[in-house]
Amino acid sequence: MDLSRFPRRRYTNFATPLEFLPNFTRALAASCPGGKGPNVWIKRDDMLGLFPGGNKTRKLEFLVADALAKGADTLVTCGAPQSNHCRITLAAAVKEGLKCRFVIEERVPGSYKVDASGNNFMFRLMGVEAITVVPGGSNMAAEMQKVAEDVARAGRKAYIIPGGGSNAIGGLGYVACAQELQQQMFDEGLSFDRLVVGSGSSGTHGGLVAGFLGNNIRIPIVGIGVSRDLPDQQPLVLKEAQAVLDLLGVDIKVKPADVHCVGGYWQPKYSMGNQRMVEAVQMLARTEGIPLDPVYTGKIMAGLIGLAREGELKAGENVLFLHTGGLPSLHAYEREVLGETELPA
């Protein structure tokens, strides 16, 4: 799969590490049937550039390059309060000398606080040009278009980046990740039985599906839903993976069997905590010293833990967890992740 014909800005000058988690593996095994569980590894995409990086960094390498090629001077994107995607998009804009505007969707009424810690602090520190807050359920594409029109009236040119950077161009970032992982496994003599990844706006999950199919990487991908269960999530991932393959000109049709989504770990709502997330965040922090965030990676790791305890992830399997970042939002959820507030199971 040839990515070289697409413009790309490089924000990370190394392959993100693959690390075995021996202490976490032992702690997880102790809670699994028979005291045995999978061997858990982690790919540190939380260490990507545009610090503190995450999965959006890979997508923005292609999206920002496309914006620059089209002569844009302003990036417009959207997300929920505490959006990692918005924060990393702003970091890319700053690095490239561009302006940046957000549309923030209050999926939980009253949840956006201008002076909040975490990513909201980063928005102010890095100098976001403007933030428009809209109610949950708003048409985000239409709202971003309004912002782009405001930019145009000021004599400038906006480039709209969808939520999560999830479109075919953004998905190229995780085709690149699939190729990077394939090379690492060869170089380091590693093999994995499963890859566990978050599945939300679908750019990461869909890009990996496309990259694995196109590069003949025969490792099942398990997508843990962070905002939807399987009936609603699987079609989004399938559509994204197909769009990426079509953009690349690869004659492969993505089948439902290629897209494995798991629900049940994100409730009660997107961005709202639960006890399983708290357990997962604390377990990894207290066994390996690696932080997870409460909105995405905490719930994704909760899914990995749950699947191991249910026997879906087999004892002795090598399971790779993709850490997609999100560290700043931890500071906006301190009491939750320390178990100091009452949360649903």
Among candidate residues 122, 70, 67, the one with its CA nearest the CA of residue 99 = 67
Active site residues: 83
Q: What is the pLDDT of residue 107?
A: 87
Q: What is the pLDDT of residue 192?
A: 98
Q: What is the pLDDT of residue 99?
A: 98
Q: What is the pLDDT of residue 297?
A: 98
Cβ–Cβ under 8 Å, residues 260 and 293: no
Taking the CA atoms of residue 200, residue 181, residue 5 and residue 59 in that order, the dihedral angle to the nearest 10 degrees is 30
What is the C-alpha separation between 295 and 198, in angstroms, rounded?
Answer: 10
Give, in words, the CATH class of 18-53+167-337.
alpha beta
Domain 56-165 has CATH 3.90.1150.10: no
Cβ–Cβ under 8 Å, residues 189 and 309: no
Q: What is the pLDDT of residue 51?
A: 81
Q: Interhelix angle for 230-248 vs 168-188, to 10°?
A: 90
In whole angstroms, how far apart are CA 182 and each of 74, 188, 190, 216, 217?
35, 10, 10, 10, 7
Domain definitions of the chain by residue range:
18-53+167-337, 56-165
Q: What is the pLDDT of residue 189?
A: 98
Which residues of the chain fall below pLDDT 70?
none
pTM of the shown model: 0.96
In whole angstroms, how far apart are CA 315 and each of 26, 65, 169, 170, 221?
11, 43, 38, 35, 17
Neighbours of 197 (CB within 10 A): 26
